[in-house]
Chain A
């Protein structure tokens, strides 16, 4: 159970069924969103807060139906604005465990502005970003993360846009927490979501999710049976960065660049590998890890960055407490009578 935060704990032990809502889940069969929902149902009881203190906020898109399927407080907003709505919810009640469900289009196209500013402010909100590299709900147009050349209904000749790297965007916006996971690994999602809840500040969890209708093989290169061991690097804090079917590959820092090495070749030993420090404040290595992509590199999964910085909501509360103690204006009558006033008799 998380006890670091001020969120009120549940007096009784909760289970998955406490968080399943009575609404029919309307995602396509086989959609990765079902697994994400299962991971949330699993991790919320473990986080241990009172049910009423969880709140989901979303925008528009397949991902954004999420709040209806979790039996907590929920708010289904408008396209792109979940981050802004959630910021208001959190400021109004800093003791909520607040979760945003959003997609690649919702957060990085129409909602790009709110997304980067939420991250910059480091408001204590957990963002689950379902990245399927396509607009699903409007039936298959390219999104800001569709790889260049991707053929979609609005890019019949291939997109000519350079896609966002989510990690790069989040860390460029001064992000303090970024994690990446796959929709086909519920345990990894659960672990990462727990870490996100634990982090003070804006936590962005990018979930690479395939859309069974419009982008089924989007992540084939990293999820297929043949490829996955060689293309996935599961990061764990304090552990060396090792991957490969035979656990024989690793990452080293060479000059100011990351490099893939084979353990045992050219005298490279396990001790030479980079050890993951997710709490490092300097984002340099986190940025490089976030940007790694096959074929040159494996893709980094797990918590890439969880740097401790002060949060907006905590600083806001501090300013309010200080003002209440030091100001001569304690109520609106004081305010109305402050400054130049005079009596007419």
Chain B
């Protein structure tokens, strides 16, 4: 046995596990990220799976992947290109080799590279035999065969062999990254502990993989990623969708308002509905409605009845909910609408990410119909922004649209676990029972917020609805001047929320050559790029927006301190157009991408440098 002594220390590393749907790549990736988390690394992950549940075996369409970015520094994204690619069959190699860096290590299951599978993947020639992989450090291992062999001595079901080969690969990766095998086994035990036979099989295979890697000469070096300097505290790994669900629950608890969710399954938002349905012990009432419209309408009903209500969806569902959002605006009831954006229009790219619902969120309803629009910008901060959306919605008696996206919703990163009592207070404007002065549309002088009076409360009987009402009394009215007044009041009420949200912050100096502007799920890529360029002494800063309507009060001030402004979005320029309307006095460059893919640091760097260069020549 040759013992490797060459240990390479890395700042950060991107590992991608890819295979056929059903090869267990999500599990292998999740366990690897847990190992990294327990070792103190910062990390971000992203699953990449096909829209089909089980596409044809061994085809490119059926490739499922899981990418993990771990580091000894703050990690902002799941990474652009990978340093290590684990490919369990020819199709997954073919689909993903373009995402491997030059010189990347590619670990292959050699057993699966038979003629049939190679052709099914669309290769003309066996990629292991031609020159196509010459720029990579290829580690070939007969993983399927060795997995079978390692199970031979165990008296286990033969069917377990194909289902445990992911563990063989994980065992090899565990060795490659100098992680403790015992740690890996204990994680496997946690996963399969309740099924002893399955656990024993997985344990045997992961150990065999580890030992095989140890003996392998083609592994010339192993890698080490030291712990990241992280704030003290308790941590967990969390996806954006779960974080969103928990943020809503935290807001319910903090406000004292029982939680209600009315939703309909839709990719990539379904996990929020699924997650919340598990929390009846927190009195979360979760209603899987017959359609998107019933989802939001039931939530509006629950909100009228005094619950803190939400509905969760993705773009096509937001379209269906438009009319009902208008009803919630008219009745001035709290309601959080979470839109986990995906590629559109129509069914579009359900499993891919885009930021193209911004204008729909801002304007996509009949009538003058203002709502608060916000966006989360990382998987973990979905918790905070869901909480904040809930707070603003309840305290200001208005619907809030919270935009996340598939990239945030399905991606994960580490969350420093907060304490609920340390979150900001939420004080919904509840009407007092038998208040003789209660009127449905009587408003607070400063915030213009009306009171919340739920059916069942003594002495506050009233009727509200979608027809225009008189201010204060709330009687049906078609009076022209009253309508104009109410339209203005609804707009002004949302505008005044700017007095209750934090000022916009900057990454970098308050003035400079280039202000990069982004919003929502692109924050990781934009921060990484801007920080890298700042290290290279470029005078560049980032203003990444989470509050969109209303905009933070200092927005104009920020824009005025830079020579150039570029707005980067995964759409055709929706936020930049909103800024142009809001602050027409500035010139905006824009960079837009609509490929269903996130921004990459290298592409952004090139764009920003080009704009700065142009400056020099001008």
Q: B-contacting residues of A (Cβ < 8 Å)? A: 21, 23, 50-53, 55-58, 60, 67-68, 71-78, 81, 83-93, 95-96, 113-114, 117, 316, 319-320, 322-324, 326-327, 329-333, 335-337, 339-345
Point out the residues of chain A lying under 8 angstroms from B467, CB to CB.
Answer: 76
Given A87-B289, A336-B418, A344-B235, 9 additional A-B pairs, CB 8 A: A74-B465, A75-B301, A83-B294, A88-B302, A92-B258, A117-B289, A332-B249, A335-B249, A344-B40
Complex: A126 Cα to B235 Cα, angstroms: 49
Residue from the set B305, B309, B461 with the largest chain A CB neighbour count within 10 Å:
B305
Whether the pair A92, B302 counts as a contact (CB closer than 8 A) is: yes
- Say how far A264's CB is from chain B's closest CB, in angstroms: 51
Point out the residues of chain B lying under 8 angstroms from A337, CB to CB.
Answer: 234, 236, 417
Known A-B contacts A23-B475, A114-B294; A88 and B246 likewise in contact (beta carbons under 8 Å): no
A-contacting 9-mer, from B13-21, B141-149, B279-287: B279-287
**Interface bits B227-240 vs A (CB < 8 Å: 1, else 0):** 00011111111000
Whether the pair B231, A332 counts as a contact (CB closer than 8 A) is: no
- Say how far B408's CB is from chain A's closest CB, in angstroms: 19
For B38, the closest partner residue in chain A by CB is: A342
Whether the pair A93, B456 counts as a contact (CB closer than 8 A) is: yes
Known A-B contacts A53-B456, A76-B467, A93-B456; A342 and B301 likewise in contact (beta carbons under 8 Å): no
Point out the residues of chain A lying under 8 angstroms from B283, CB to CB.
Answer: 320, 324
**Interface bits B439-473 vs A (CB < 8 Å: 1, else 0):** 00000000000000011111111111111000000
**Interface bits B267-306 vs A (CB < 8 Å: 1, else 0):** 0000000000001111101010111011001111111111
Q: List 27 A-B contacts (CB under 8 A).
A: A53-B456, A72-B455, A73-B461, A73-B462, A75-B331, A76-B467, A81-B293, A84-B290, A88-B260, A88-B262, A88-B301, A89-B302, A89-B304, A90-B305, A92-B302, A92-B303, A92-B306, A93-B305, A96-B456, A326-B281, A327-B281, A333-B419, A335-B282, A336-B417, A340-B34, A340-B37, A342-B236
Complex: A309 Cα to B260 Cα, angstroms: 25
For B187, the closest partner residue in chain A by CB is: A340
Known A-B contacts A52-B457, A88-B260; A78 and B301 likewise in contact (beta carbons under 8 Å): no
Point out the residues of chain A lying under 8 angstroms from B297, CB to CB.
Answer: 77-78, 81, 84-85, 88, 114
Q: Determine whether B250 belongs to the interface, using a CB cutoff of 8 Å to chain A.
A: yes
Q: Which of these, A75, A90, A343, contacts B233 with CB under 8 Å?
A: A343
Q: Which of these, A21, A87, A343, contacts B301 with CB under 8 Å?
A: A87
Point out the residues of chain A lying under 8 angstroms from B230, CB to CB.
Answer: 344
Whether the pair B420, A52 counts as a contact (CB closer than 8 A) is: no
Whether the pair A78, B419 counts as a contact (CB closer than 8 A) is: no
Complex: A114 Cα to B456 Cα, angstroms: 25
Known A-B contacts A51-B461, A77-B465, A87-B298; A333 and B420 likewise in contact (beta carbons under 8 Å): yes
- Say how far A301's CB is from chain B's closest CB, in angstroms: 30
Q: Which of these, B40, B236, B282, B466, contacts A339 with CB under 8 Å?
A: B236
For B383, the closest partner residue in chain A by CB is: A336
Whether the pair A95, B465 counts as a contact (CB closer than 8 A) is: no
Complex: A24 Cα to B201 Cα, angstroms: 76
Q: Determine whether B253 belongs to the interface, using a CB cutoff of 8 Å to chain A.
A: yes
Point out the residues of chain A lying under 8 angstroms from B299, CB to CB.
Answer: 88
Whether the pair A78, B305 counts as a contact (CB closer than 8 A) is: no
Q: Which of these, B231, B303, B459, contacts A344 with CB under 8 Å?
A: B231
Complex: A229 Cα to B253 Cα, angstroms: 60
Whether the pair B294, A113 counts as a contact (CB closer than 8 A) is: yes
Q: Determine whether B307 belongs to the interface, using a CB cutoff of 8 Å to chain A.
A: yes
- Say how far A131's CB is from chain B's closest CB, in angstroms: 22
For A67, the closest partner residue in chain B by CB is: B463
Point out the residues of chain A lying under 8 angstroms from B457, CB to CB.
Answer: 52
Whether the pair B301, A52 counts as a contact (CB closer than 8 A) is: no
**Interface bits B190-219 vs A (CB < 8 Å: 1, else 0):** 100000000000000000000000000000
Known A-B contacts A92-B307, A336-B236; A87 and B420 likewise in contact (beta carbons under 8 Å): no
Point out the residues of chain B lying under 8 angstroms from A77, CB to CB.
Answer: 297, 300, 327, 465-466
Q: Determine whether B498 belongs to the interface, using a CB cutoff of 8 Å to chain A.
A: no
Q: Determine whether B476 belongs to the interface, using a CB cutoff of 8 Å to chain A.
A: yes
Point out the residues of chain A lying under 8 angstroms from B84, CB to CB.
Answer: none
Q: Determine whether B394 belongs to the interface, using a CB cutoff of 8 Å to chain A.
A: no
For B233, the closest partner residue in chain A by CB is: A344
User: Chain B interface secondary structure, helix, strand, loop or mixed?
Assistant: mixed
Point out the residues of chain A lying under 8 angstroms from B280, CB to CB.
Answer: 319-320, 322-324, 327
Whether the pair B462, A84 counts as a contact (CB closer than 8 A) is: no
For B228, the closest partner residue in chain A by CB is: A344
Point out the residues of chain A lying under 8 angstroms from B327, CB to CB.
Answer: 77-78
Whether the pair B455, A52 counts as a contact (CB closer than 8 A) is: yes
Complex: A297 Cα to B38 Cα, angstroms: 76
Known A-B contacts A23-B475, A71-B461, A332-B249; A91 and B298 likewise in contact (beta carbons under 8 Å): yes
Whether the pair A75, B463 counts as a contact (CB closer than 8 A) is: yes
Whether the pair B463, A88 counts as a contact (CB closer than 8 A) is: no
**Interface bits B582-617 vs A (CB < 8 Å: 1, else 0):** 000000000000000000000000000000000000
Complex: A332 Cα to B233 Cα, angstroms: 17
Q: Determine whether B110 belongs to the interface, using a CB cutoff of 8 Å to chain A.
A: no
Complex: A21 Cα to B231 Cα, angstroms: 60
Whether the pair A323, B281 counts as a contact (CB closer than 8 A) is: yes
Point out the residues of chain A lying under 8 angstroms from B306, CB to CB.
Answer: 92-93
Complex: A323 Cα to B280 Cα, angstroms: 6
Whether the pair A89, B455 counts as a contact (CB closer than 8 A) is: yes
Whether the pair A341, B285 counts as a contact (CB closer than 8 A) is: no
Q: Determine whether B323 belongs to the interface, using a CB cutoff of 8 Å to chain A.
A: yes
Complex: A326 Cα to B236 Cα, angstroms: 24
Q: Determine whether B324 belongs to the interface, using a CB cutoff of 8 Å to chain A.
A: yes
The 7 closest A-B pairs by CB, nearest first: A76-B465, A88-B301, A88-B298, A327-B281, A74-B463, A73-B455, A84-B297
- Say how far B365's CB is from chain A's closest CB, in angstroms: 12
- Say how far B142's CB is from chain A's closest CB, in angstroms: 33
Complex: A164 Cα to B279 Cα, angstroms: 40
Whether the pair A93, B455 counts as a contact (CB closer than 8 A) is: yes
Complex: A317 Cα to B253 Cα, angstroms: 18
Known A-B contacts A340-B236, A342-B235; A88 and B258 likewise in contact (beta carbons under 8 Å): no
Point out the residues of chain B lying under 8 angstroms from A333, CB to CB.
Answer: 419-420
Complex: A329 Cα to B38 Cα, angstroms: 23
Whether the pair A88, B291 counts as a contact (CB closer than 8 A) is: no
Complex: A125 Cα to B158 Cα, angstroms: 54
For B311, the closest partner residue in chain A by CB is: A88
Known A-B contacts A81-B294, A93-B456; A68 and B260 likewise in contact (beta carbons under 8 Å): no
Point out the residues of chain B lying under 8 angstroms from A117, CB to CB.
Answer: 289-290, 294
- Say how far B331's CB is from chain A's closest CB, in angstroms: 8
- Say how far B51's CB is from chain A's closest CB, in angstroms: 25
For B280, the closest partner residue in chain A by CB is: A323
For B309, the closest partner residue in chain A by CB is: A88
Known A-B contacts A68-B476, A114-B290, A320-B285; A341 and B234 likewise in contact (beta carbons under 8 Å): yes
Complex: A279 Cα to B101 Cα, angstroms: 72
Complex: A91 Cα to B34 Cα, angstroms: 39
Complex: A336 Cα to B12 Cα, angstroms: 27
Point out the residues of chain B lying under 8 angstroms from A76, CB to CB.
Answer: 463-467
Whether the pair B305, A96 counts as a contact (CB closer than 8 A) is: yes
Whether the pair A92, B260 counts as a contact (CB closer than 8 A) is: yes
Residue from the set B34, B458, B459 with the largest chain A CB neighbour count within 10 Å:
B458
Complex: A183 Cα to B39 Cα, angstroms: 75
Point out the residues of chain B lying under 8 angstroms from A51, CB to CB.
Answer: 461
Q: Which of these, A50, A57, A316, A340, contacts B237 with CB under 8 Å?
A: A340
Whether the pair A75, B464 counts as a contact (CB closer than 8 A) is: yes
Whether the pair B456, A75 counts as a contact (CB closer than 8 A) is: no
- Say how far A6's CB is from chain B's closest CB, in angstroms: 12
- Say how far A281's CB is from chain B's closest CB, in angstroms: 24
Whether the pair B298, A84 counts as a contact (CB closer than 8 A) is: yes
